Amino acid sequence: MPAELPEHVARTRNGQPATVLEAISEALWEEMERDDRVFLMGEDIGAYGGAFKVTRGFLEHFGPSRVVDTPIAEGGFTGAAAGAAHMGLRPVVEMQFMDFISPAYDVLTNYIATSLYRGSGPLPLVVRGPVGGGNRGGPFHSQNVEMAFFHTPGLKIVYPSNPRDAKGLLKSAMRDDNPVIFEEHKGLYRAPFCREVLPPDDYVIPLGRARTALEGENITIVTYGLMVHRSLEAAAELARDGIRAEVIDLRTLLPLDEDAIAASVTKTGKLLIVHEDTRTGGIAGEIAIRMNERAFEWLDGPILRVTAIDSPVPFSGELEDYFLPSTQDVVTAARYLVEY
């Protein structure tokens, strides 16, 4: 291993189990080694190594022209990244917290997402950063932002649930010629229950394809991110009662792999959608109507959803626990639906 290789990247390359954070860091490192057009932009990602230390050691190896510390101006540096992409580079923009992406909403939706359609050519750009609650971060550091951009043609949205997918999906996003919003649940970054040995080869996972995290026959649970783990915990509890739940991990939200969802629903006849995002306008509504259109004849009960409540993310721990969907919430909804 080169002397300058960060310790956490060296460890995962040597076959040690990787966290989601380490998998993301390794994906960035490998793509920067592979393609000198790739560079990083964001607040405190250089000398400080990023708020969560994803880019620790990158500045020393790749230099300040490829690891660029930015001012606190998300709209400005996202626009600068778009200009760099137009000139043939492949920028990866880090939002210190994805909550702060809102100043860049205009440039992302009105300019970046429409670029190819308007004839300006491909715009290879990734905007990545941490999302999600459970860490007592309050309303400014805990949001899930996927549905703010889900309505925008021209964007792709990715939300992994485990280290292997995080690395493979991020590498695919960085090689894609379209703009990608890449959400990383901070509750999975260093989670002890979410570590795995990464394949040693240069692998990618195609965008737009869900995976079956658990096979079952009595009910389909569609979910993504941290809620995959909550849903698997619920499935284990349901299995003790003889209920076999099938858990579908979406991985990519836009484009949505509705074929995978429909295939599962036609097998089980029951659909429960679980996401951490708030209820109104969440992706559960879109999935529900698509399955109503595609798989109505196979449904043997109403489509249900388990989500966060319609509220800003509370700072109080007790209130945040009440706000977020729990494993028991999933179990209760699944039992109701199976018995319907």
DSSP code for 103: G
**Whole-number Å distance between alpha carbons of 28 and 181:** 15
Bridge partners of 41?
68, 93
pLDDT tens figures, 42-79: 999 999 999 999 999 999 999 999 999 999 999 999 99
- Asked if 8 and 34 count as a contact pair (C-beta separation under 8 A), the reply is no
pLDDT tens figures, 179-189: 999 999 999 99
pLDDT higher than threshold 90 for residue 13? no
**Whole-number Å distance between alpha carbons of 204 and 168:** 4
Q: What is the pTM of this model?
A: 0.95
**Whole-number Å distance between alpha carbons of 22 and 35:** 20
141 assigned to active site: yes
State the pLDDT at residue 1.
38
Strand spans (E) along the chain: 38-42, 67-69, 90-94, 126-131, 156-158, 180-185, 211-214, 219-223, 245-249, 252-254, 271-278, 304-308
The phi, psi pair for 91, rounded to 5°, reads: -75, 150
Q: How far is CA 164 from CA 19, 171, 202, in A?
A: 9, 11, 12
When pLDDT is averaged across residues 102-116 and rounded to a whole number, the result is 96
Structure tokens, 64: 């300040």
State the pLDDT at residue 7.
75
Pick the catalytic residue from 8, 61, 86, 141. 141
The phi, psi pair for 185, rounded to 5°, reads: -70, 120
- Asked if 163 and 195 count as a contact pair (C-beta separation under 8 A), the reply is yes
CA 282 distance to own-chain centroid: 15
What lies within 8 Å, CB to CB, of 138 at 6+ separation is 313, 314, 315
* Between 4 and 71, residue with greater pLDDT: 71
CB atoms within 10 A of CB 241: 9
Percent of the chain with pLDDT over 90: 94
State the pLDDT at residue 4.
66
State the pLDDT at residue 191.
96
Q: How far is CA 144 from CA 11, 221, 325, in A?
A: 30, 20, 13
Give the angle subtended at the CA of 232 by the CAs of 230 and 238, to the nearest 5°: 105
**DSSP β-ladder status, 156-158 and 252-254:** antiparallel
**Whole-number Å distance between alpha carbons of 234 and 230:** 6
